[in-house]
Structure 1
Amino acid sequence: MRTAAAIATGVLALPCASLAADLPLKARAAKTVYDWTGFYVGGHFGYGDAGFGPGTNPLPLQGAGLPHSATGLTGGYQLGYNRQLANRVVLGVEADATFTSPLDFPAHERAPAPFNTTIDYVGTVRGRLGYAFDRFMPFVTGGFAWGHTHINVNDADGVTELSPVGHYQTGWTAGLGLEFAVSGNWSAKAEYDYVALSRRTYDLGTFGMANVDVDPRIHLFKLGLNYNFGDTPWMAPVNGKTKLPESGDWNVHAQTTMLPQGYGPIRSPYASPLSLPGRGQFQATWTTTAFLGARLWDGGEFYFNPELAQGSGLNGTLGLAGFSNGEAQKAGAPFPKIRAQRYYLRQTFGLGGEQEEVPDAPNQLAGKRDIDRVTLIVGRFAVGDFFDGNAYAKDPRADFMNWAMWSSAAYDFPADLPGYTRGAVVELNRKDWAVRAGLFQVPDAPNSDVLVFKTGGAVVELEERHSIFDQPGKLRVGTFYNSGNTANYRQVVAIAAANPALDINDITIANQRDRSKYGFYVNLEQQIVKDVGLFARASWNDGQNQILSFTDIDRSVSGGLSIKGSHWGRPDDTIGIGGAVNGLSDAHRDFLAAGGTGLLIGDGRLNYSPERILEAYYAWKLNSWTTMTFDYQFITNPAYNADRGPVSIFSGRLHAEF
C-alpha cells in the first residue's frame, strides 16, 4: 500500500509540477534592469544667479515668485548620448543652451545706473559620468562653456536703454545632478551647473565712461525632461516598445513656430516712432513652448507651459491696430527669453449622466468626463484660452495671423506684455450650452508688464451649440468690464488745448487714475458643409478711456471662410480667407489727431478712416507634425490714417508640434 501510495503521489505530482512550471507567477524570473544607453533630447526650466564683477550693475531679471536676479528664471533645451557599461557606469556627452528671463521693470526703476550688464544665454558641451542604480542615475558633469553678455548704456534717467553693446565669451563649466526614468521613454532630472566665462573688457569711452571688465560667474539650477530614443537617433525603439510602461496620469507636448513677415515701401508723408516705417521692413518671431500636464487626483489637473520667445513684430510690434503677427509679443527681444507663461490648476466636478471621451492634447489629459460638469481654473493663463474661442479663427500658429481675425479685437482683455494674466475661471457645461465667467488681474498702467490686484477685469460668456441643416455651429456672446489706471481721452485733449506748451503724452500720464472700460462681443462659427466653415465676430467697447492691455480698437467686425483640402485630395491642408474692419470712438480719434499715442499706434496726427484688413493663407501639411503656411495681408488705412499706406504684408510660418 505504501508503494502504491508513493506511485500515485508521484503520478499526481508530475502534472502539477509541469503546470507550476508553466505559471509565470510561480517561476523565478530574471529582474529587468533599466538601460541608460541611447540618444536623448529634452528641455529644462529653472532658476539662477550670476555675478559679473565689481561695478558692472547687473540688470535685474524676472524671478516670477522668486527674487529677481542676474539670470532670473532660466530655461532651454539639451541633447546628448549615454553609454551604460557592464559595471553600471554610464558615460555620456551632452550639449545644451540656457536662456534668461525678461527685465524686472519695477526693480530696474528702483536702481537706476549709467549702464547695466546682463547675460543673454549660456551654451555648454559637457561630458557626463554617472552610475546606474536601475532607474536612478546620479552623475557629475563638466566641459566647455560659452555665452553672450551685453551692456546697456542708459539715458540720463538711468533706466531707458540707449545703446546695447554685446560680446561672446568662452569658459568652462562643472556640475552634478540626478536623473530618474519616469515612464515610457521619459526621464526627469535635477541638475546644478557652475559656469565661469573669460573676462571681457567693454570699451565705453565713446559714451564718456571708463572701460568695464565683465567677468561672468553663473549658477544654474535646472529641472528637466528627456525623451530617450535608444541607440537609433530620432526614432522610436524597435517595434514601438517603450523602455518603461506608459502613464496616463501625465503628458508632455511641445510646439515651435517661426513666423517671418515683410513688406515693401509704402506711402508715408509723416511718421512717428509708432508708425510703420515707409521704407518697408522684414522681421521674424520664433516661439518654443512645452505643455506639461499632471493628474493630481480625481478631477484635479495641473498644467505648466514654459515658453521661449525671440524676435519682434514689424517695427517692434508697432504701427497697426490689427497687428499682422499673432505670435509677436510687445516684449520682443533679439535673444530668446524664457517665461512661465501658464501655470494653473483645473478642477472638474462631474454632475453625472452622459460622458464624453477627452483625447490627449496640449493642456489636456486623456480620459472621460461628464458632459454636465462644473470646471474651476485658477492660476496664470491667457484669457483667450477659455473665452472667445472659434474653430476657424483662433490660433495664429495654425490659422489666421492678424490680431483682428483670431480675436474679438475690441475686447481689451487683461494681460501683461506677452498676453497673459492671473485669475480664476468657472464654467458650467451642458450638452447644448455653457456659461463661463472669469476674474483677472490687470496691468498697473497701459502696456505694462506688471500685473496687480488693486483693480481687475471680468468677463461673462454664454456659449450656445446648435445645428442648422445637420451642420454644427456655436454662438458665443460675452460682456466684459475692466478697471485700471488709465487716462480719459476727452480730459487729456482739453488740457492739451488749453496748454499748448505741454506735451500731450506727458498730460496723458499725469491724467491716469482708476477708470473703467466695458463692452461686449459676439462670436459665431458655423460649418456649411463637411470641411467648409465660416466665422464671424463683432465687438465694441465704450472708447472713453485708454486701452489698457490689448490693442487700439474700439469697434471691430470680422469674418471669413476656412476650407479643408479634402476637396482637392489634401485633407490636412487648409485655405483661409477673411476680412476685418476696425474703428475708434470719437474721443479716441481726437486724442490721436492731437498727437497722442496709444498702445501700438500714433502717427503724430490723423486723417481718420477705418482700418481695413484682408487676409488669405494656405496651410500646407508637410507631415504628421509639421505645417508650412503662406499668408498675405492687405491693409488699408494702417493705424486708421488715410494718409498712410496701403501696405501688403507677406508672411511665412513654419509650425511643428508633437
Structure 2
Amino acid sequence: MTGAPRIGRDVGRGWGTVASGGVVLTLRGHRHRYLRTAAALASGVLVLPGAGVAADLPLKARAAKTVYEWTGFYVGGHFGYGDAGFGPGTNPMPEQGVVLPHSATGLTGGYQLGYNRQLANRVVLGIEADSTFTSPSDGPALAHSPAPFHTTIDYVGTVRGRIGYAFDRFMPYVTGGFAWGHTHININDGDGVTGLFPVGHYQTGWTAGLGLEYAVSGNWTAKAEYEYVDLSRKTYDLSGFGLGSVNVDPRIHLFKLGLNYQFGDTPWMPVVGGKTKLPESDDWNVHAQTTVLPQGYGPIHSPYASPQSLPGGGQFQATWTTTAFLGARLWDGGEFYFNPELAQGFGLNGTLGLAGFSNGEAQKAGAPFPKIRAQRYYFKQTFGLGGEQEAVEDAPNQLAGKRDIDRVTLIVGRFAIGDFFDGNSYAKDPRADFMNWAMWSSAAYDFPADLPGYTRGAVVELNRKDWAIRAGLFQVPAAPNSDVLTFKTGGSVVEFEERHAIFEQPGKLRVGVFANSGNTANYQQVVDLAAANPGLDINDIVTATQRDRLKYGFYVNLEQQIANDVGLFARVSWNDGQNQILSFTDIDRSLSGGLSIKGSRWGRPDDTVGIGGAINGLSAAHRDFLAAGGVGLLIGDGQLNYRTERVLEAYYAYSVIKGVTLTADYQLIANPAYNADRGPVSIFSGRLHAEF
C-alpha cells in the first residue's frame, strides 16, 4: 500500500507519477487565465467608376475570424475502458472496472505523443505513438472463476498515422498502424486463483480506429477515441505444468478519453511569444507527477525467517508512480477532482518485513508492468460563511480563486484519508520528504484503505481563522489487507486543528481520535485457541475466528517553524492493540519527530534536508500472537524476540530544475519487525520526482 499522498497540498503534491529506469518525470497542469483577443476591423473606400466625384463610402467593419491551427507537437494522457478476447480455452483474467463491469482489460490508461500538420485545405495529417495499460485483477470476480491458469494482457503500444479534417476547433479523424503488446499466463495454485508461475510473451499486430478531438482552452485539446487492436497468435507451451499448449490470439477493443497539450513546431516549447493557442479557463486545471524510487540493502543478520521477513542476503527493488490531477469547477463552490494513477514495481520483499516500511510509494499490490487505477474521484462543495477571504493558488486538486476563511466544506467520493487528516508541512509526502511510513503518518492510526491506500467516504470540515474541526466516515476493507471495500462495517475519525504562533513563528497542532469496525480476529483469543489445539495452524485459527470487531485510538501531530526555513515535527499515536490490524501496518503505538531545513542558508533555497526518527511498538497481545507464529499485514518471522522497532532517516532533496528534485535517503532500522534476533538493516534510497 502506498502511503496516501496529499492532495491539494500534494497533496498539495500529488500526480497522487511516472518513473522509469530511475528517472521520474512530473508534468504540471496549465494555469487558467483568460487572454484578450483582438478583432481586426476593416474599412474600405469605394470608388464609383465613371463618376465625376469620388465619394468615400465607409463600410461596416467585419471581425476577422480566428481559425484554430492544429499544426505542432503534442503530449498527453488517456483513460478509458476496454475488453479483449484471447481465443478458446484461454481463461481471461477478470480485471477491475470499478463502476463498469470487470473485463479482460478493465479500466485502461496511458500516454501518447505525436505531431500534426494542417494543410491549406484543412486536412490534418499526423503521427502518434501511445502506450495503454490495464487494471489490476478483480479479486471477487476471480474467486468466482477458478481455473488452472488465467490469461491477461499487460499493455498495448501503437505507432499510428492519423488523417483528420479541421472544422476550426473540432477535428474528426481516422487512425491506423502498427501495434504490439505483452500477454502473460498465470499458472495457478490448487485454489485455481492464486498465481504462482507467470509466463509472458510479446506479440505484434495492427490497429485501426477513429476519434474526435476538440480544442478546449489554452494549449489543451480533449479527445474521444475507439481503437481495435489485432495481435498475432502466440502458442504457450505449458506442458511443463501438465497443461499442454495454449494458443493466445488477442483481439482488443479500447475506448479512450484523453487530453493533449499542444506545442508549436518546436517540441517541448510553448508557442511563439509564450501565448497559448486559445484563452485559458479558470474553471478547470491539469497537473501531473511522476516518481521513481529505488531502494536496496545488503546482507543482514537473519538466523531464521519466513516469507514475511526481509531476506537475509539483501535485496534491491524500485517503484514508479505517475499521477494525473484533473479538476473542474461545476458551480459556485462546487468542484470535482479525478486522479488516475499508474503504479509499477515492488517494495522490498513485496512490501513485507518492516512495520515502519521504508518506501511510502510501495503499494501492497505491486506489479511488473504499470497498472492503472482511478485512485481519486470526489466532489467538493464549499459553503462560505462570509467575512474575510483568502487566495487559493492553482495546485493539484485545487482550483485557483478565492474562498471565505470561515467556511464549511463537504467532500464525498474516493480519496486517501491522509489527503484531509493528519497533515504536516514537514513530514507528509513520501514523494518529496520522508519516505518511511512511520515518519509521514501517525503510524498507529490504522486508517481505512484498500491495497493502494485509498477508500470511499465523506468528510465535513468547519474552518475558522485560528482553528478547524473535521470528521469523516469511510469504507473499510472486507478483511485485513483486502482490496475490497465495504460499508457493512466502517471507519470514522474526528480531528481538531489549532493554529498558533510562538515568538512569531507559526505552528499547528492536530489531535485526532479514530475508530474502525472491521472483520478481524482477537489476538488473545487466537493465542489461547492455538495453545489449547497445538495441531492447528495459528493463522488458520485467525481466519476461522474473524468477525466484526472494533479498533480505536488517537494521534497528536505537531508542526512548528522555529526559524525561517527551519521547522520541526512530532507525532505520537496509539491504538488499543487487541484485534488485528485492518488496513495500514503492524504498529500499535508510535512516536516520531525530526527537523526539516531549507537550503537558503547555503544558497540552495529549493533544496531540503531532513532528519528524523521513529519508535514503533506493539501491545502485549499482539506480541504474543507474532511470537506464536502469527502473521500480520506486513510482518511475521515465525517467532519473536521482542524489542521496539527503531527508525532513523535522513535525506537531502536536491532541486535539479523547477518542479524536478533528486533525493538521496538513508534509513537505519534496528529490530526490524520488532525482532532483536534480526538486523539491523541499512537501507539506501534514491528518488527522482517531477511535477507540473
Asked if structure 1 preserves the Cα contact closer than 8 Å seen for 2:495 and 2:511, the reply is yes
1:433 maps to which residue? 467
2:120 maps to which residue? 86
In the alignment, structure 1 residue 363 sits paired with structure 2 residue 402: no
| 1:601 equivalent among 624, 635, 640 | 635
In the alignment, structure 1 residue 261 sits paired with structure 2 residue 298: no
- CA distance in 1 between partners of 2:660 and 2:196 (Å): 40
Deviations 1:170-227 (A, max 9, x none): 0000000000000000000000000000000000000011100000000000000000
In the alignment, structure 1 residue 291 sits paired with structure 2 residue 331: no
1:150 maps to which residue? 184
| 2:580 equivalent among 546, 552, 556 | 546
Q: CA deviation at 1:28?
A: 1.6
Q: CA deviation at 1:230?
A: 1.4
Q: CA deviation at 1:420?
A: 0.1
| 1:342 equivalent among 355, 376, 385 | 376
Q: CA deviation at 1:29?
A: 2.8
- Corresponding letter in the other structure for 2:183: T
- CA distance in 2 between partners of 1:81 and 1:286 (Å): 27
- CA distance in 1 between partners of 2:227 and 2:261 (Å): 21
- CA distance in 2 between partners of 1:181 and 1:160 (Å): 46
- CA distance in 2 between partners of 1:606 and 1:330 (Å): 23
| 1:273 equivalent among 301, 307, 317 | 307
Q: Per the alignment, in what secondary structure is the counterpart of residue 506 of structure 1?
A: helix
Give 1:435-584 correspondences, 5 Å limit.
Answer: 435-584=469-618
Q: Per the alignment, in what secondary structure is the counterpart of residue 621 of structure 1?
A: strand
2:219 maps to which residue? 185
1:640 maps to which residue? 674
1:616 maps to which residue? 650
| 1:110 equivalent among 123, 126, 144 | 144
In the alignment, structure 1 residue 42 sits paired with structure 2 residue 79: no
In the alignment, structure 1 residue 423 sits paired with structure 2 residue 457: yes
Q: CA deviation at 1:650?
A: 0.2
- Corresponding letter in the other structure for 2:70: W
Q: CA deviation at 1:350?
A: 0.1
Give 1:168-247 correspondences, 5 Å limit.
Answer: 168-247=202-281
Q: CA deviation at 1:239?
A: 1.0
In the alignment, structure 1 residue 100 sits paired with structure 2 residue 134: yes
Q: How many residues align?
A: 637
| 1:137 equivalent among 171, 175, 181 | 171
Asked if structure 1 preserves the Cα contact closer than 8 Å seen for 2:448 and 2:491, the reply is yes
Q: Per the alignment, in what secondary structure is the counterpart of residue 356 of structure 2?
A: coil
| 2:425 equivalent among 383, 388, 391 | 391
Asked if structure 1 preserves the Cα contact closer than 8 Å seen for 2:264 and 2:272, the reply is no
Asked if structure 1 preserves the Cα contact closer than 8 Å seen for 2:79 and 2:340, the reply is yes
Q: CA deviation at 1:281?
A: 0.2
1:4 maps to which residue? none
Q: Per the alignment, in what secondary structure is the counterpart of residue 230 of structure 1?
A: coil
- CA distance in 1 between partners of 2:613 and 2:328 (Å): 40
- CA distance in 1 between partners of 2:469 and 2:690 (Å): 33
Q: CA deviation at 1:312?
A: 1.0
Q: CA deviation at 1:625?
A: 1.5
- Corresponding letter in the other structure for 2:549: R
- CA distance in 2 between partners of 1:246 and 1:494 (Å): 66
2:346 maps to which residue? 312
1:351 maps to which residue? 385
Q: Which stretches of structure 1, 4 residues or more, deviate above 4 A after TM superposition?
A: none
- Corresponding letter in the other structure for 2:517: S
Give 1:403-418 correspondences, 5 Å limit.
Answer: 403-418=437-452
Deviations 1:516-557 (A, max 9, x none): 000000000000000000000000000000000000000000
- CA distance in 1 between partners of 2:623 and 2:595 (Å): 31
- Corresponding letter in the other structure for 1:458: S
Give 1:20-99 correspondences, 5 Å limit.
Answer: 27-99=61-133
Deviations 1:567-591 (A, max 9, x none): 1000000000000000000000000
Deviations 1:129-175 (A, max 9, x none): 00000000000000000000000001111011110000000000000
Q: CA deviation at 1:27?
A: 2.2
Q: CA deviation at 1:595?
A: 0.1
- CA distance in 2 between partners of 1:161 and 1:216 (Å): 21
Q: Per the alignment, in what secondary structure is the counterpart of residue 419 of structure 1?
A: coil
Deviations 1:378-414 (A, max 9, x none): 0000000000000000000000000000000000000
Deviations 1:333-370 (A, max 9, x none): 00000000000000000000000000000000000000
Q: Per the alignment, in what secondary structure is the counterpart of residue 326 of structure 1?
A: coil
- CA distance in 1 between partners of 2:440 and 2:469 (Å): 21
| 1:248 equivalent among 255, 258, 282 | 282
- CA distance in 2 between partners of 1:155 and 1:284 (Å): 27
Q: CA deviation at 1:276?
A: 0.2
Q: Per the alignment, in what secondary structure is the counterpart of residue 625 of structure 2?
A: helix
Q: CA deviation at 1:30?
A: 2.0
Deviations 1:473-515 (A, max 9, x none): 0000000000000000000001100111111001001010000
| 1:163 equivalent among 191, 194, 197 | 197
Deviations 1:108-127 (A, max 9, x none): 01110000000000000000
- Corresponding letter in the other structure for 2:75: V
1:653 maps to which residue? 687
- Corresponding letter in the other structure for 2:111: Y
Q: Per the alignment, in what secondary structure is the counterpart of residue 263 of structure 2?
A: strand
- Corresponding letter in the other structure for 1:346: K
- CA distance in 2 between partners of 1:275 and 1:121 (Å): 32
- CA distance in 1 between partners of 2:136 and 2:210 (Å): 27
Q: Per the alignment, in what secondary structure is the counterpart of residue 604 of structure 2?
A: coil
- Corresponding letter in the other structure for 1:521: Y
- Corresponding letter in the other structure for 1:588: H
**Structure 2: 5+ residue stretches without partners:** 1-55
- CA distance in 1 between partners of 2:645 and 2:662 (Å): 28
- CA distance in 1 between partners of 2:62 and 2:92 (Å): 62
- CA distance in 1 between partners of 2:463 and 2:131 (Å): 43
- Corresponding letter in the other structure for 2:200: G
- CA distance in 2 between partners of 1:64 and 1:653 (Å): 31
Q: Per the alignment, in what secondary structure is the counterpart of residue 587 of structure 1?
A: helix
Q: CA deviation at 1:238?
A: 1.2
Q: Per the alignment, in what secondary structure is the counterpart of residue 374 of structure 1?
A: strand
- CA distance in 2 between partners of 1:156 and 1:418 (Å): 27
Q: Per the alignment, in what secondary structure is the counterpart of residue 339 of structure 2?
A: strand
Q: Per the alignment, in what secondary structure is the counterpart of residue 605 of structure 2?
A: coil
- CA distance in 1 between partners of 2:190 and 2:391 (Å): 60
- CA distance in 1 between partners of 2:506 and 2:481 (Å): 39
- CA distance in 1 between partners of 2:191 and 2:340 (Å): 33
